[in-house]
């Protein structure tokens, strides 16, 4: 089982971009004007595996020498990313998910050939079981509280500022904080707008308390954003004046999800619509923000 020390850096994000280049897609950006205001979308839902999480999984697994197996726990997207990365790198994978994990995600995990184990009522319980199953020959890959995972996710932000250096803020959804922390490292001195549903507010609660705290989880986006506690490493990165924490209601993010389909024919999962919901509600103080559409693994997307 691997251990780690220290915070990831912008240099780690740059190194991760090189590491993942041959496996991850460089996803496109869409420039648009919505409701009279300029806006950019980073179409990360087009990433291999259907979410940004492949980036962190590829980077982290590439940093480990010949593991016998990779073990992880996930609400769905991270598990699919690890299973996909493991297949690309030739490593056996075991993925623990809570019994509530949506079938739209679990069937994709099983389709990669990974072993899928359903355990517990939530992510925390699945993660505890996964950790208990790890042997000395395995590598356990957390969903967000790992420097190589964070660095890999940060390549999303690095691509955004490379393609659109005039962007003044990047707006991302937050669960455990890996994408938001990586984004903060990858975009320089720009603002990271970290958006959570009101019922999944681990980062917002941590920033108010001054340290990570346990929170309740109750949102339509819980399968992707349902961390009960923000990661220690993501919190250390995001506890900064350059981070703006914003909350949206489930009704607001579902309306944003519908707008993305109706206006642009972009089919994303509810979690991915949270950043746009914040922008539509006027909670993103930026002249030219980039909205990260982080995933597309839901039954809703397959019904469109």
Query: pLDDT digit string (tens) for 37-46?
Result: 999 999 999 9
User: Does residue 5 sit within a domain?
Assistant: no
Are 157 and 258 part of one and the same domain? yes
Determine which helix (DSSP H) or strand (DSSP E) holds 194, and give its type and residue range. Answer: strand 191-197
Confidence bin at 5 (pLDDT 50/70/90): low
Q: Find residue 71's DSSP bridge partners.
A: 94, 140
Claim to verify: residue 166 and residue 21 sit in the same structural domain: yes
Higher pLDDT, 33 or 102: 33
Q: Enumerate the β-bridge partners of residue 193.
A: 171, 244
Residue 126 has pLDDT above 60, yes or no: yes
Give 221-233 pLDDT, tens digit per residue: 988 898 889 999 9
217 within a domain of the structure (yes/no):
yes
Residue 114 structural domain: 54-140
Q: What's the pLDDT at 299?
A: 62
Kindly state the average pLDDT of the residues 231-259. Answer: 97
pLDDT of residue 138: 93
Q: Is the dihedral of CA 222, 261, 279, 286 positive or negative?
A: positive
Domain boundary among 116, 140, 164: 140
Q: Is residue 230 part of a domain?
A: yes
Q: How does pLDDT run across 94-123, given as a tens digit for each residue? A: 999 989 888 888 899 999 999 999 999 887
Same domain for 47 and 73, yes or no, is no
DSSP structural state of residue 44:
G
Residues 153 and 127 in one domain: no
% of the chain residues with pLDDT over 70: 96
Rounded to an integer, what distance in angstroms lies between the CA atom of residue 181 and that of residue 176?
10
How confident is the model over 235-243, as a mean pLDDT? 97
pLDDT in tens, 260-284: 999 999 999 999 999 999 999 999 9
275 three-state secondary structure: helix
Last residue of a domain, which of 115, 140, 165? Answer: 140
Handedness of CA 133, 136, 137, 143 (dihedral sign): positive
Same-domain status, 153 and 257: yes
Q: What pLDDT is stored for residue 76 in this prediction?
A: 78
Whether 60 and 135 share a structural domain: yes
Domain identity same for 216 and 242: yes
Query: Is the same domain home to 164 and 291?
Result: yes
Task: For residues 125 and 153, state if they share a domain.
Answer: no
In terms of domains, do 201 and 120 share one? no
Q: ∠ CA 30-35-37 to the nearest 5 degrees? A: 65
pLDDT tens readout for residues 130-159: 999 999 889 999 989 999 999 999 999 999
**What pLDDT score does 31 carry?**
98
From residue 222, how far is each of 42, 79, 177, 186 by CA, in Å?
Answer: 22, 15, 14, 26
Cross-strand partners of 97 = 118
- Report how far apart, in Å, the C-alpha atoms of 171 and of each of 13, 126, 245, 304 are: 18, 29, 10, 25
How many C-alpha atoms does 242 have within 13 Å on its Cβ side? 18
The pLDDT value given to residue 104: 80
Domain endpoint, select from 122, 140, 158: 140
Q: What length does the chain have?
A: 304
Within a domain: 3: no
Asked whether residue 89 falls in the same domain as residue 170, the answer is no
> According to the model, what pLDDT value does residue 2 have?
39
**7: three-class secondary structure by DSSP:** coil
- Between CA 109 and CA 82 the distance in angstroms is 9
CATH number, domain with residue 159: 3.40.50.1100
Mean pLDDT score of the chain: 93
Same domain? 150 vs 217? yes
Average pLDDT of the residues in 229-256: 97
Integer CA distances (angstroms), 235 to 59, 94, 238, 240, in order: 20, 27, 5, 9
d(CA 74, CA 80): 8
Q: Per-residue pLDDT averaged across 64-88, rounded? A: 90
- Number of compact structural domains in the chain: 2
Comparing 3 with 87, which gets the higher pLDDT?
87
pLDDT bucket at 1, cuts 50 / 70 / 90? very low
């Amino acid at each position: 089982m691997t251990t780690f020390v220290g915070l990831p850096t912008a240099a780690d994000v740059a190194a991760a971009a090189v590491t993942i280049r041959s496996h991850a897609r460089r996803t496109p950006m869409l420039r648009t004007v919505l409701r009279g205001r300029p806006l950019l979308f980073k179409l990360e839902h087009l990433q291999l595996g259907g979410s940004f999480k492949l980036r962190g999984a590829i980077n982290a697994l590439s940093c480990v020498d010949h593991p016998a197996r990779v073990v992880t726990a996930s609400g769905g997207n991270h598990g699919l990313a690890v299973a996909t990365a493991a297949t690309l790198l030739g490593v056996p994978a075991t993925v623990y998910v809570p019994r509530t994990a949506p079938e739209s995600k679990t069937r994709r995990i099983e389709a990669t050939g990974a072993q899928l184990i359903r355990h517990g009522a939530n992510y925390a319980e699945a993660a505890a079981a996964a950790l208990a199953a790890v042997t000395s020959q395995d590598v356990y890959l957390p969903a967000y509280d790992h420097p190589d995972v964070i660095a890999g996710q940060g390549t999303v932000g690095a691509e955004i500022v490379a393609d659109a250096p005039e962007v003044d803020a990047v707006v991302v959804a937050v669960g455990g904080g890996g994408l938001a922390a990586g984004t903060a490292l990858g975009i320089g001195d720009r603002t990271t707008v970290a958006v959570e549903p009101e019922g999944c507010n681990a980062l917002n609660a941590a920033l108010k308390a001054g340290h990570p705290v346990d929170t309740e989880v109750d949102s339509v986006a819980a399968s992707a954003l349902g961390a009960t506690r923000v990661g220690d490493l993501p919190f250390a990165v995001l506890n900064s004046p350059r981070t703006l924490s914003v909350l949206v209601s489930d009704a607001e993010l579902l309306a944003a999800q519908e707008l993305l389909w109706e206006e642009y024919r972009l089919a994303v999962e509810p979690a991915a619509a949270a950043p746009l919901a914040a922008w539509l509600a006027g909670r993103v103080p930026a002249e030219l923000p980039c909205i990260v559409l982080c995933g597309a693994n839901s039954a809703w997307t397959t019904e469109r």
